[in-house]
């Protein structure tokens, strides 16, 4: 990339003319290639291409010609495409010719390189009651691909390890048959590829590509719902693979028959092999997963912390891992050891508490409900204790929970002066020290508002 | 020299200042800044995805822009998407092919989540970015659960990496940032005036910086210094 001296110089010069956001949104995504007399700029997609062409191309050309005022100047050509990047999980991205008008690539022939995630193997899969059946079935398929169970349909909620098992089967097949062609993709990729193939009269290559797989792994099949043309195409691919005893593995967030918007004939075929559920992991498995992940990251995770996290984050494994990453990041950047308090502190940002947007109206309503008074009373000029105290509490909460200024808060409470708000805040702070029941009320309200 | 000409230089400085790590005032967000800075250079021990959340004016956009700038300096294609501005565009077209970049920053997720086809398109993008080994920065007003996407698949992917809640600047931080930004414009902002602004205007950094822009312009036009009477007078104007 560093060879792009002209483009780099051009961007440097444009920094003074367009905003940083424009640079980051429209210009820095462009991939540049220079050859004599031509600067080819490749946009990642049509949308960026059009914006640059319509709004920025003149500025780019002007700048380039300022930099290279040689005879004939330098021609700027805009296209769509991108670079090869080394991490070839992206075996899919062949460079596209830049043209004055964007062209789309046809589905690319894929070499023996697979795009399986190297981390997703059977060895790294943590087994528990919730997933042991799915794991056992996956092992069988891995040993006898195309024969044991075809298709293998794994279903379960988000983030429970369906993709992990699918990739593990792929790795295992490759280990036995290194020349095998394993294609893994999300269903929406299949849809997008098919649309592109249709646009470019390349549907035969498309068919050939998918039908030549020794194993075809499609994730989240529920996103085929309502896409009839893709279902039709997939139906034929499916049949061809099955006939050729090529393995098909599918995942979905629900039982095949329950996927709405999916053709009946597909649903019934999905059931021809083995359909197996993967359940949310129970606490022990969640804890085991955390400990295994921590070990892999080379981190000491005390078991009380693992249990705390396992108890708090029940939804799925992806979020469990995300929260572990947050704890690890905190440890890494602060250099502190991971203790229970440390983990609680790190996870506060993830757990939804305090994440809602809190408005002044919301505070007034919540406080009014709590004390069984009317919002109108809080805003009125009435000064009886039963109204004034809740009003002061509401003001103090507003100061604590919002970014409004004192005059703004005063304004929102029936046009009071900012000194009144200031007085309320001080008064409540004092009372919370002296009066346990008021302190409890305040804490309750704080909790209600921020959860 | 015309007034407009005089303004050119400080304005330019300000723009860059808000898009570099060096110009980021960490306050309570040191950890988030360090994590994002590590992601920006793709250091081995960092996560490929980070989500920042918090209300406007806490520095989310600043960190995203700074990371993009840093990635660009390393010679990588980067893409910053202000989703609030792009919300009306067709999601699939906007998000197509972004896995060609090495670092993608999606700002204002809350502006599009739950709207039309955005959730599914974002879900697809996050999968592609992950498959392509692309680094991802996300920013929103709330944590993944709080964004209430109708698509649980998306919610769980938003929480793939560490999630940081950005802390709003304390009053002292705000005053320091204001003074620093004023100085960049060649303006002197006395502490008493900063106090006055915080008490009488919003304690919201974005709003305060916009106000500072306005005051800068007015001070220049009227050849005045920033004093409390001058500021009070300006605030009273529509």
**CA terminus-to-terminus distance, chain B:** 29
Q: Which residues of B touch A406 (CB under 8 A)?
A: 199
CA distance A230 to B140: 33
From the list B18, B79, B143, the residue facing A355 with the nearest CB is: B143
Cα gap A7→A20, rounded to integer Å: 16
Cβ-defined contact of B78 to A29 (cutoff 8 Å): yes
Residue A192 predicted with pLDDT over 90: no
| Model pLDDT for residues A136-177, shown as the tens digit of each residue | 999 999 999 998 899 999 999 888 999 999 999 999 999 999
Contacts 24+ apart (CB under 8 A), A13-20: A13/A63, A13/A66, A13/A67, A14/A59, A14/A60, A14/A63, A15/B16, A16/B12, A17/A59, A17/A63, A18/A56, A18/A59, A19/B15, A20/B15, A20/B16, A20/B18, A20/B19, A20/B65, A20/B69
Q: How far apart are CA B220 and CA A115, in angstroms?
A: 60
Closest CA to A290 of A306, A304, A308: A306
Does pLDDT of A450 surpass 90?
Answer: no
Identify all chain A residues contacting B133, using CB atoms and an 8 Å cutoff: 85, 87, 89-90
Least CB–CB distance from B35: residue in A188, A220, A333: A333
The confidence score (pLDDT) of residue A90 equals 32
* Per-residue pLDDT, A431: 94
pLDDT digits (tens, 9 = 90+) for B100-145: 999 999 999 999 999 989 999 999 999 999 888 899 999 999 889 8
* Chain B nearest CA to A374, separation (Å): 27
Q: Which residues of B touch A323 (CB under 8 A)?
A: 159, 163
Q: Would you state the structure tokens that stand for residue B50, as one six-digit string?
A: 């980070």
Per-residue pLDDT tens over the stretch B167-213: 888 778 888 888 888 887 788 899 999 988 888 887 778 888 888 88
What is residue A52's predicted lDDT score, i.e. its pLDDT? 95
Helices (H), B41-170: 60-73, 83-86, 91-95, 118-131, 152-158
Highest-pLDDT range among A354-358, A426-430, B56-60: A426-430
pLDDT mean across residues, chain A: 86
pTM (2 d.p.) = 0.77
Chain B residue at shortest CA distance from A355: B142
User: What pLDDT was estimated at residue B16?
Assistant: 52
pLDDT of residue B45: 63
Question: Which among B50, B55, B60, B79 is the top mutation candidate for probing chain A, defined by the most A β-carbons within 10 Å of its own β-carbon?
Answer: B79
Give the C-alpha separation, A427 to A385, whole Å.
13
CB contact under 8 A, A44 and B81: no
* Residue range A80-127, pLDDT digits in tens: 987 654 433 333 333 333 333 444 444 444 444 578 988 899 999 999
In the block, residue with structure tokens 């039963």? A386
Give the pLDDT band (50/70/90) at residue B31.
very high
Cβ-contact A24, B105 below 8 angstroms: yes
pLDDT(B11) > 50: no
Nearest CB partner across the interface for A25, out of B34, B80, B132: B80
Q: In what order do the strands lie in the sheet with A75-80?
A: A31-35, A38-43, A75-80
Q: Nearest by CB to A333, from B34, B97, B159: name it.
A: B34
- CA of B17 vs chain A CAs: smallest distance (Å): 10
Is a pLDDT exceeding 60 seen at residue A196?
A: yes
pLDDT tens for A379-392 read: 999 889 999 999 99
Which residue reads 């528990």 in tokens? Answer: A128
User: How many angstroms away from the CA of B222 is the closest CA of chain A?
Assistant: 27
CA of B98 to nearest chain A CA: how many angstroms apart? 6
Q: What is the pLDDT of residue B58?
A: 87
- In the prediction, which pLDDT does A106 show? 44
pLDDT > 70 fraction of chain A, expressed in percent and rounded: 89
- pLDDT at B12 exceeding the cut of 90: no
**Residue A400 CB contacts under 8 Å (≥ 6 apart), including other chains:** A446
- A3: closest chain B residue by CA: B75
If you average pLDDT over every residue of chain B, what do you get? 86
| Residue A28, pLDDT score | 93
Q: For A19, name the nearest residue in chain B, comparing CA atoms only.
A: B15
CA-based nearest distance B225→chain A, Å:
24
> Which residue of chain B is at minimal alpha-carbon distance from A346?
B164
CB pairs < 8 Å spanning A and B: 201
Per DSSP, the three-state class of A220 is coil
Q: Cβ–Cβ of B160/A93 closer than 8 Å? A: no
Helices A317-334, B30-40: axis angle to 10 degrees equals 100
pLDDT tens digits along A327-347: 999 998 899 999 998 998 888
Which chain B residue's Cα is nearest to A88? B132
Instruction: Return the pLDDT at A97.
Output: 36
- List the single residue in A with minimal CA-CA distance to B33: A333
């Amino acid at each position: 990339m560093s060879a792009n001296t002209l483009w780099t110089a051009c961007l440097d010069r444009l920094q003074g003319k367009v905003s940083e956001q424009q640079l980051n949104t429209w210009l820095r995504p462009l991939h540049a290639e220079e050859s004599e007399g031509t600067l080819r700029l490749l946009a990642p997609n049509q949308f960026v291409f059009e914006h640059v062409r319509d709004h920025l191309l003149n500025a780019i050309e002007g700048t380039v010609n300022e930099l290279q005022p040689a005879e004939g100047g330098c021609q700027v050509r805009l296209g769509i495409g991108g670079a090869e990047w080394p991490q070839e999980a992206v075996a899919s991205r062949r460079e596209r010719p830049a043209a004055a008008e964007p062209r789309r690539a046809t589905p690319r022939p894929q070499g023996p390189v697979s795009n399986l995630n190297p981390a997703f193997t059977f060895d790294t899969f943590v087994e528990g009651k919730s997933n042991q059946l799915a794991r056992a079935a996956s092992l069988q398929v891995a040993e006898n691909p195309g024969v044991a169970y075809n298709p293998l349909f794994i279903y379960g909620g988000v983030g429970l390890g369906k993709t992990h098992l699918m990739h593990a089967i792929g790795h295992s097949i490759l280990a036995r048959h290194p020349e095998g062609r394993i294609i893994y993709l999300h269903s929406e990729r299949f849809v997008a590829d098919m649309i592109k193939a249709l646009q470019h009269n390349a549907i035969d290559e498309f068919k050939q590509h998918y039908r030549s797989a020794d194993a075809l792994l499609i994730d989240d099949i529920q996103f085929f719902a309502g896409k009839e043309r893709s279902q039709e195409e997939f139906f034929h691919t499916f049949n061809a693979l099955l006939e050729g005893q090529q393995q098909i593995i599918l995942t979905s967030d629900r039982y095949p028959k329950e996927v709405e918007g999916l053709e009946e004939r597909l649903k019934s075929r999905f059931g021809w092999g083995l359909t197996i559920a993967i359940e949310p992991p129970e606490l022990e498995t969640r804890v085991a997963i955390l400990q295994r992940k921590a070990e892999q990251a080379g981190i000491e995770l005390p078991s009380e912390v693992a249990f705390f996290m396992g108890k708090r984050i029940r939804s799925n494994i992806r979020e469990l891992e995300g929260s572990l990453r947050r704890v690890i990041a905190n440890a890494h950047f602060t250099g502190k050891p991971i203790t229970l308090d440390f983990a609680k502190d790190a996870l506060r940002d993830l757990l939804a508490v305090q994440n809602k947007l809190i408005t002044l109206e919301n505070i007034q309503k919540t406080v009014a409900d709590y004390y069984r008074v009317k919002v109108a009373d809080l805003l009125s000029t009435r000064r009886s204790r039963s109204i004034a105290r809740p009003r002061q509490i509401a003001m103090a909460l507003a100061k604590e929970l919002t970014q409004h200024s004192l005059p703004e808060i005063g304004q929102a409470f029936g046009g009071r002066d900012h000194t009144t708000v200031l007085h309320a805040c001080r008064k409540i702070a004092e009372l919370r020290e002296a009066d346990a029941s008021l302190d409890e009320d305040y804490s309750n309200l704080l909790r209600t508002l921020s959860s | 020299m015309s007034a407009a000409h005089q303004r050119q230089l400080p304005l330019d400085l300000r723009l860059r200042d808000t898009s570099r790590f060096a110009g980021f005032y960490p306050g309570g967000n040191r950890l988030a800044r360090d994590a994002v800075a590590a992601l920006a250079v793709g250091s081995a021990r960092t996560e490929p995805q980070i989500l920042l959340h918090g209300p406007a004016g806490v520095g989310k956009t600043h960190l995203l822009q700074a990371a993009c700038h840093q990635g660009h300096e390393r010679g990588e294609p980067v893409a910053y998407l202000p989703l609030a501005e792009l919300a009306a565009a067709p999601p699939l077209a906007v998000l197509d092919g972004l896995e060609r970049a090495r670092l993608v920053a999606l700002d204002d997720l809350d502006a599009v989540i739950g709207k039309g086809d955005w959730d599914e398109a974002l879900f697809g993008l996050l999968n592609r970015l992950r498959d392509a080994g692309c680094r991802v920065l996300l920013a929103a007003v709330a944590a993944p659960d709080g964004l209430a996407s109708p698509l649980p698949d998306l919610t769980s992917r938003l929480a793939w990496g560490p999630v940081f809640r950005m802390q709003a600047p304390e009053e002292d931080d705000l005053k320091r940032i204001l003074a620093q930004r004023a100085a960049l414009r060649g303006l002197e902002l006395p502490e008493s005036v900063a106090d006055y602004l915080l008490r009488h205007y919003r304690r919201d950094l974005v709003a305060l910086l916009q106000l500072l822009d306005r005051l800068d312009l007015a001070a220049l036009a009227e050849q005045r210094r920033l004093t409390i009477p001058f500021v009070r007078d300006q605030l009273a104007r529509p």
